[in-house]
Structure 1
């Protein structure tokens, strides 16, 4: 049987692990696939760096030429970003190669076009490694639950932010201190913006929502808030409620009174009760909670990043794609038949934790409560603590729309007795 040839685009932390495992486990991979696989070329930006275990003759700086080779069966793309990754993937399709990608940003921005190009060329596009590292998640949603109706996907999909929030909770550290430790340990990049501002999680949420709800969802459709404004006071308030703060990716299906279905996708910090399974996800780990009609509640947990875990997901896709190549078939492509509308954040209904700095005098609480009532936001609990003429007022609401809460907060800011709105955090998972 012929040898299947693989081109690797990118040889950083993940790419190096992919190349290593392809070499050391070559016999096992061949047995699982049914034919040998050969690393035929590795595209890098700088050829003169030492790459132990990778023969020099495989290294090239011309990725465009590598993917055009007519003998390449599968291209593995782990360079990230939008370009040149998109052009290289499209070129691979044009030249008959299937693609395995870990590129969440590209798939969240242009997944529909990539799926269309793959289908036109009669090849595969697999991307298990794009969301939650080693955790099998894309395939269960795309295949195992294909006969079920998924209603909600709720998860921690960014290890960096989970590490930071976990440190703030367990040690009392402030955000800056926790970020500094995450950077020192290698969990956070030198520029942590994509993680701490929620861009990374939003891209993953778009991919998950698209697969779960059989609709086209892009990163632009995902409401996004990061964790940079989370304070030690927020962490303490969560503890007082027997909760923890997590950066959550939440994708939900909803049904209107007339039976029309739609979806929402959002990423933001939220308080979740200690009784929820996600509350106990510590450190840099990821976990995703899936709720479906027939399957009920499912949870997927494990390391969400790192060279070896991500390489595991890449190689799982490689085995599947190579099997398809040998069988003359392709695996599941895009499923967007439902074409559900993605609702704006204003329509989302949840509970809220609102912390206000107010004047410590009679009538203030009644005035604040009136504003909530006027905007249709029902109050569940109130906690007030005085301090030298001012007071901290914490209000936890019943379920309300985000639009109603926003209008409430806007009016509260105009009150003379409200010194400021210290924080607003959503309450989920109850």
Structure 2
């Protein structure tokens, strides 16, 4: 019986397909397929229950076959569409001129992660044409970051990078490994060999690098950085002398290198972050006020200065001594942000008096008008009451000076 149902269903499908062989017949048929007649006959005539049951089973079998055919056709269509789209894209890519493709590659490189900088490598592996275009674009190879990129990969980048546009980053060694240290030393040797082409340089020295510091300094003995514009130095402790002629942007983290005075006079943008690790540990070396002040005073041409410094805890402060900064002048200051670490909020009043004195000197002696003040207070003690804080005293001062104050208290 199932064979009969299969033959009936097959005959209906064959008859329906014949409708599509002639367009004129198809329009006349109005999609009145052969199986429609079966329903009409059943409805109009009195038939035996067994015949009706067989007709229902035949139509279910037909429906299953048609659904299977439709599913298969949909799957094939999806795959064909994907292949067609891929073929069209390949045709379009082949028609795009090389200079337009080069511009697209450079835009893709700008949107990529600057630390990994693998756009050039990925593009060069697509095809011979992509490899040819990517290899001739210095921008794709100008950012070098070690150890994210191996020395072998760095050696491939160097010949392809332009002159002078190399942005080089050497991160500190996080493992106490002789092999790792040797690779770091090898990277410093590469840095020296390409130093005349470096435009931006970021160096970080960790505790495992200190043991090899003499070798590193020896590798850098012939270092020449005539094109260097931006320099970032980060270190656990003091290192040797570094002085180069063209620096405009300077970022110093836990290090104060020795520069020639003429180098510091041309710095436009500077960020200094010192003593942030743990100055509470007396065994740790930290930068002292004279060293920090000497650095700040040497930045005579800086336009944008951001300073984050924790001063070491020494002898108890003299409560009768007025806090002032007579050597540092800010003639055009309009906004000021100050972070304080206090034992408890009862000391906030004295701190505010010191800030008032300094701001008053800015206004009186230098003509500056401070409009915005951000005061961040970190309280060391866990025990305090709100009434201990001189909030009313602060509010009266702010109202008198017509000052916009943002007070942030951290516990």
TM-score over 0.5 (shorter chain)? no
What is the TM-score when the length of structure 1 is the normalising length? 0.25
Q: Counting strand residues as a fraction of each chain, which structure ranks higher?
A: 1
Higher relative contact order (CA 8 A, sep 6+): 1
Q: Counting helix residues as a fraction of each chain, which structure ranks higher?
A: 2
What is the TM-score when the length of structure 2 is the normalising length? 0.26
* Bigger Rg, structure 1 or 2: 2
